[in-house]
Amino acid sequence: MPELYSSPVDLRMAARSGRHTGHTAGQAPGFVQGNVVILPSTYADDFARYCAANPKPCPLLGRSAPGDPALPGLGEEIDIRGDLPSYRVFRDGQNTGDVADIADVWRDDLVTFVLGCSFSFEEALVAAGLSLRHIEQDTTVPMYRSTIPTREAGPFGGPMVVSMRPFAPDDAKHAAATTARFPHAHGAPVHTGNPAKIGIADLDEPDFGDRAVLRDGEVPLFWACGVTPQVALERARPKICITHTPGAMLVTDLRNSDLMAAD
């Protein structure tokens, strides 16, 4: 089992030093984790419009100045070049692999976007007594390319990526109501039940993350996912772009309670 960090600063330092290289689910309880997209500044305004047009998969929490690796609104001494456990580098829209840090590819024109993540609502689900299969199994939540379209902005567009969590029917209703209170962390599910209705042929073959087996009587719930921008980036094909590796997030100093909608 990986070491568990209670402090987001300690977790970021562990990622920066290479001591923590895995997923961040269950780490730094109570603190907001974010999906990361880093783009050349020529794409930044279009990507910001894409986020505004698609708040379910792309709830924007922060944006850096060009070339600035810091995000002072999100955390103490963040250096986006090394504070994630793993990064995915795209060139001309193609995934070229995952790396431990991005110091060697950093440029003065790069702009960082941080988007809300389902880990924020997962804490509320666990607090409500609901069990999450991927946390039980110490795996990454399964994610799928759906046929749900996103709204286009400039070169960005394409289908929504969804994450799946299985629940017993009564728990599924509770899970949907709980997550609806977190609009800045993907909010309520976008689909419940038959995966084929949103273009998913086989739940055992996720496009990202790890397989999660449905037990007898369970219902699959699907949430908008922050990996959606990775699919949009494949279409936009910037010369270079960097994201988090699915499941390996930026852990911020914001509290999950900060993202909860008022009753």
Residue 50 to residue 225: CA distance in whole angstroms: 14
Can you give the pLDDT at residue 219? 96
pLDDT tens for the 263 residues of the chain, in order: 678 899 999 999 999 999 999 888 889 999 999 999 999 999 999 999 999 999 999 999 999 999 999 999 999 899 999 999 999 999 998 999 999 999 999 999 999 999 998 888 888 899 899 988 887 887 888 999 999 999 999 999 999 999 999 999 999 999 999 999 999 999 999 999 999 999 999 999 999 989 998 899 999 999 999 889 989 999 999 999 999 998 899 999 999 988 887 55
Can you give the pLDDT at residue 255? 94
Look at strands 219-224 and 31-40 and give their pairing: unpaired
Cβ atoms of 113 and 73 within 8 Å: the answer is no
Which residue type occupies 163? Answer: S
Can you give the pLDDT at residue 1? 61
- Show the domains of the chain with their CATH numbers: 8-118+235-256 (3.40.1640.10), 120-224 (3.30.2040.10)
- The angle subtended at Cα 156 by Cα 118 and Cα 198, nearest 5°, is 55
Cβ atoms of 28 and 256 within 8 Å: the answer is no
Can you give the pLDDT at residue 246? 85
Structure tokens at 198: 């949103």
Can you give the pLDDT at residue 134? 84
Element (H, E) at 4: none
Find, among 203, 238, 209, the residue nearest to 221 by Cα: 203
- The angle subtended at Cα 171 by Cα 168 and Cα 175, nearest 5°, is 125
Can you give the pLDDT at residue 25? 81
User: Which burial class, exposed, middle or buried, applies to 4 when counting CB atoms under 10 A from its CB (0-12, 13-18, 19+)?
Assistant: exposed
How many CB atoms are located within 10 Å of the residue 126 CB?
Answer: 14
Can you give the pLDDT at residue 230? 86
